Amino acid sequence: MIELENVAYSYGGDSLFAGLSLQLAPGSFQFLTGPSGAGKTTLLKLCYGDLLATSGHVTLFGKDAAGLTRDDVALVRRRIGVVHQDCQFLDHLPLSENVALPLQVSGRSKEAQDNLGDLLGWVGLSRQAAQTPPQLSGGERQRAALARAVITSPDVIVADEPTGNVDWEMSQRLLTLLIELNRMGKTVLIATHDLNLIRFAKSQVVANVLRIRGGQLETGVTL
Amino acid sequence: MNPRVTQILGLLQGDREADRAVPPTGFTARLTVFTAAAMAFLAVFALALSVATGRLADRWSAELARTATLRISAPAGEGEAQVRAALQVLETTPGVASARALTPEEQAVLLEPWFGPDLPLETLPIPRLIEVTADADGYDATGLRARLQAEVPAAVLDDHTRWREPLVDAANRLRTLGWVALLLIGGAVAAMITLAAQSALSANAQVIRVMRLVGARDAYIARAFVRRFTLRAGLGALVGTILGLLAVAALPDGDDGGFLTGLGFSGAGWFLPLFIPPLAAVVAFLATRAAALRTLRTQA
């Protein structure tokens, strides 16, 4: 599905990591952890085609990422739901339209009429549908970002510190939503430095933990 | 249906959701509409200038090419005889449709603007004038001059070439300048729209980031901007064109064939400015699309 093989990435000549390999199997649940600045966000961006590796091969749904056109990248993004730590919304639009945006850009607006109500109910935001993102709390924004990431029923969900701005109770709720999605067959990759969150997830789902440290990726990490 | 036609129809029909993705920018919108209106207003005048000068050039060229003047400066007492002789020559010259001696009263009217109405014309040695009109084939001016020199030595043929050519040349150049002005106006509209579109794209970098994150193609993102600027430019140009047409219609009219009183449209020419709004919209469409796609490429 998503495969990184012997990948390196450098920022302005400074190597962030090198020789890194990773395979996201369909239906898997993976955590990516590591210290700040280790390259977690960069690795996630490589996984959804937002960055190109300095060297090595990144394969997204069977296609070499380096050979993708800009339109190809857009199509890849439609198969990957991304949840950012800072959420990134269109602040002038109500929550309902923000969540439905992935359907709109892919010409599937009619599906929004069928799915949006249920989805907002699932993340507990039915009453906030008409509010704009600046009117929402941090937790509500995170849940809205998650709803937007899954509205197209993508194959993969990539979340970068999805619980970074919320309390423990809200973190558990968000993680439970992601676990539910994984049980529906979605591949989930979550970058987090919150070890309690990983422990909580491992108590409910078979999750693999990856750790990036010193430019190297360790797999099967035990906490 | 042709994909290009489908694209244009899609543009006119619009995509409400794509449009809403870009927040409204009141100031830029008003500025674009105002500039497009001002440019269209100027374009109407440039068009009026081109059309009017073209019309004048054609008329002067056609009218003056078919007329000539025979001037007879004969000593007192011989004038009438020379006029009759000249008329006889002209009547037998192939290509001359008509020849008519101006009456003393008509000559007095011609001189009135310079000497006033009370000029005692009969006391002055004023040359007699004969108005010559050529037929469609025209006459041989060189041959006619040779004949006149032999038979009416006091006659001088003026076929207006000396001053017709510079006038027609000037009118043609004015017409060219009018078209150049139209091209410059079109270029200025394109430049203005490009700057406004780039400004809007820069101001909406966050919108573009989010759209890309959720899988929007460049064409989808560009469409929201392109349609917005195309409609603004078209609307502004429509307003400017209507105002320009009203201003041209309000110009003083005259049937003396003068340049300033003839600056305007006539007949079907009044429909020409109606092409300005769609042309402005096309220019805006192309300029915004190019700017949007270029900016999106560089923001990759």
Listed by start position, the domains of chain B span: 3-61+165-298, 74-153
- The answer to whether the CB of A179 falls within 8 A of the CB of A147 is no
Tell which residue, A51, A25, A26, A56, has the closest CA to residue A39.
A51
Tell which residue, B21, B13, B31, has the closest CA to residue B224.
B21
Q: Return the structure tokens found at B229.
A: 């600027």
pLDDT bucket at B15, cuts 50 / 70 / 90: low
Confidence (pLDDT) at A48: 92
- Residue for token pair 């959720």: B214
Mean pLDDT of chain B: 84
- Pick from A94-98, B124-128, B241-245: least confident: B124-128
* Domain-embedded: residue A84: no
Do B213 and A74 count as a contact with CB atoms less than 8 A apart?
no
Asked if residue A63 and residue A167 are part of one domain, the reply reads: yes
- The answer to whether the CB of A8 falls within 8 A of the CB of A53 is yes
Count the neighbouring beta carbons within 10 Å of the beta carbon of residue B222.
24
Confidence (pLDDT) at B66: 78
pLDDT bucket at B185, cuts 50 / 70 / 90: very high
Alpha carbon of residue B1 to chain centroid? 38
Asked if residue A70 and residue A4 are part of one domain, the reply reads: yes
Do A109 and B213 count as a contact with CB atoms less than 8 A apart?
no
Which tens digits make up the pLDDT trace of A138-164? 889 988 998 999 898 899 999 998 887
The complex's ipTM works out to 0.86
Q: At what angle do helices B161-203 and B26-65 cross, to 10 degrees?
A: 170
Do B21 and A101 count as a contact with CB atoms less than 8 A apart?
yes
Nearest to A109 among B17, B23, B209 (CB): B17
Asked if residue A185 and residue A140 are part of one domain, the reply reads: no
Asked if residue A97 and residue A25 are part of one domain, the reply reads: no
Question: How many folded domains does chain A comprise?
Answer: 2
Do A97 and B209 count as a contact with CB atoms less than 8 A apart?
no
| Long-range contacts of B146-154, Cβ-Cβ distance < 8 Å, separation of 24 or more | B147/B89, B147/B93, B148/B70, B148/B86, B148/B89, B151/B85, B151/B89, B152/B72, B152/B82, B152/B85, B152/B86, B152/B89, B154/B72, B154/B73, B154/B74, B154/B78, B154/B82
Check if A105 contacts B (Cβ < 8 Å). yes
- The answer to whether the CB of B33 falls within 8 A of the CB of B229 is no
Do A70 and B216 count as a contact with CB atoms less than 8 A apart?
no
- The answer to whether the CB of B72 falls within 8 A of the CB of B128 is yes
- The answer to whether the CB of A82 falls within 8 A of the CB of A101 is no
Triad B256, B260, B264: Cα angle to 5°: 90
Check if A74 contacts B (Cβ < 8 Å). yes
Integer Cα distance of B288 and B34 in angstroms: 17
Integer Cα distance of A61 and A158 in angstroms: 14
Nearest CA in chain A to B224: A105
Taking the CA atoms of residue A26, residue A29, residue A35 and residue A36 in that order, the dihedral angle to the nearest 10 degrees is 70
Check if A93 contacts B (Cβ < 8 Å). yes
User: Which of B16, B206, B211, B214 has the most A C-beta neighbours within 10 Å, making it the best mutation to test the interface with A?
Assistant: B214
E strand spans, chain A: 2-11, 14-24, 29-33, 55-60, 63-64, 80-83, 156-160, 187-191, 208-213, 216-218
Asked if residue A75 and residue A173 are part of one domain, the reply reads: yes
pLDDT bucket at B183, cuts 50 / 70 / 90: very high
Q: How far is B299 from chain A (nearest CA, A)?
A: 11
User: Which of B213, B220, B296 has the most A C-beta neighbours within 10 Å, making it the best mutation to test the interface with A?
Assistant: B213
Nearest CA in chain B to A87: B210
Do A90 and B207 count as a contact with CB atoms less than 8 A apart?
yes
Do B20 and A93 count as a contact with CB atoms less than 8 A apart?
yes
pLDDT bucket at B300, cuts 50 / 70 / 90: low
Asked if residue A62 and residue A108 are part of one domain, the reply reads: no
Do B210 and A90 count as a contact with CB atoms less than 8 A apart?
yes
Which residues does chain B have within 8 Å of residue A88's beta carbon, measured at their own beta carbons?
206, 209-210, 213
Which tens digits make up the pLDDT trace of B131-171? 998 888 888 888 988 988 888 888 898 887 777 778 878 88
Asked if residue A148 and residue A158 are part of one domain, the reply reads: no
Which residues does chain A have within 8 Å of residue B206's beta carbon, measured at their own beta carbons?
88, 90
Do B215 and A105 count as a contact with CB atoms less than 8 A apart?
yes
Beta strands A216-218 and A208-213, pairing class: antiparallel
Residue type, position A118, single letter:
D
* Domain-embedded: residue A86: no
Integer Cα distance of B187 and B185 in angstroms: 5
- The answer to whether the CB of A144 falls within 8 A of the CB of A89 is yes
* Domain-embedded: residue A206: yes
Do A93 and B18 count as a contact with CB atoms less than 8 A apart?
no
Nearest CA in chain A to B298: A70
How much of chain B exceeds pLDDT 70, in percent? 90
Helix, strand and coil percent figures for chain B, each rounded to 5: 70, 10, 20
Q: Return the structure tokens found at A189.
A: 């990759």
Asked if residue A217 and residue A144 are part of one domain, the reply reads: no
Which tens digits make up the pLDDT trace of B69-125? 989 988 777 778 888 999 999 999 998 899 999 988 888 888 888 888 777 777 778
Integer Cα distance of B14 and B8 in angstroms: 10
HSE-CB at B85 with a 13 A cutoff on CA atoms is: 17
- The answer to whether the CB of A216 falls within 8 A of the CB of A58 is no
Do B217 and A89 count as a contact with CB atoms less than 8 A apart?
no
- The answer to whether the CB of B131 falls within 8 A of the CB of B100 is yes
Which residues does chain B have within 8 Å of residue A93's beta carbon, measured at their own beta carbons?
20-21
Which residues does chain B have within 8 Å of residue A105's beta carbon, measured at their own beta carbons?
211, 214-217, 220
Domain coverage including residue A139: 91-152
Burial A8-21 (b: 16+ CB within 10 A, else e): ebeeeeeebbeebe
- CB pairs < 8 Å spanning A and B: 58
Do A101 and B214 count as a contact with CB atoms less than 8 A apart?
yes
- Residue for token pair 């290509």: B95
What are the 10-residue block averages of pLDDT along chain A, 223 residues in total? 92 86 93 90 92 93 92 92 87 93 88 83 90 91 91 92 82 88 93 91 91 87 77
Asked if residue A214 and residue A162 are part of one domain, the reply reads: yes
Please give the full DSSP string across A25-87, using - where no structure is assigned: -TT-EEEEE-STTSSHHHHHHHHTTSS--SEEEEEETTEEGGG--HHHHHHHHTTEEEE-TT-
Confidence (pLDDT) at B256: 56
Confidence (pLDDT) at A188: 95
Q: Which residues partner with B165 through β-bridges?
A: none
Number of helices and strands in chain B (H, E): 10, 4
- The pLDDT of B271-294, averaged and rounded, is 92
Which residues does chain B have within 8 Å of residue A76's beta carbon, measured at their own beta carbons?
215
Integer Cα distance of A215 and A7 in angstroms: 11
Q: Hey, which residues 178-217 in chain A have their CB within 8 Å of chain B?
A: none
Asked if residue A220 and residue A165 are part of one domain, the reply reads: yes
* Domain-embedded: residue A85: no
- Residue for token pair 């529906």: A184
**Sheet bearing A216-218, strands edge to edge:** A80-83, A156-160, A187-191, A29-33, A208-213, A216-218
Tell which residue, B232, B214, B284, has the closest CA to residue B17.
B214
Confidence (pLDDT) at B233: 92
Confidence (pLDDT) at B273: 93
Integer Cα distance of A178 and A146 in angstroms: 8
Confidence (pLDDT) at A86: 79
Tell which residue, A188, A167, A157, has the closest CA to residue A78.
A157
* Domain-embedded: residue A109: yes
Q: What is the CATH number of the domain that holds A25?
A: 3.40.50.300
Which residues does chain B have within 8 Å of residue A91's beta carbon, measured at their own beta carbons?
23
Asked if residue A219 and residue A163 are part of one domain, the reply reads: yes
Asked if residue A158 and residue A74 are part of one domain, the reply reads: yes
Tell which residue, B149, B148, B155, has the closest CA to residue B92.
B148
Which residues does chain A have within 8 Å of residue B211's beta carbon, measured at their own beta carbons?
101, 105
Do B217 and A74 count as a contact with CB atoms less than 8 A apart?
yes
Beta strands A187-191 and A29-33, pairing class: parallel
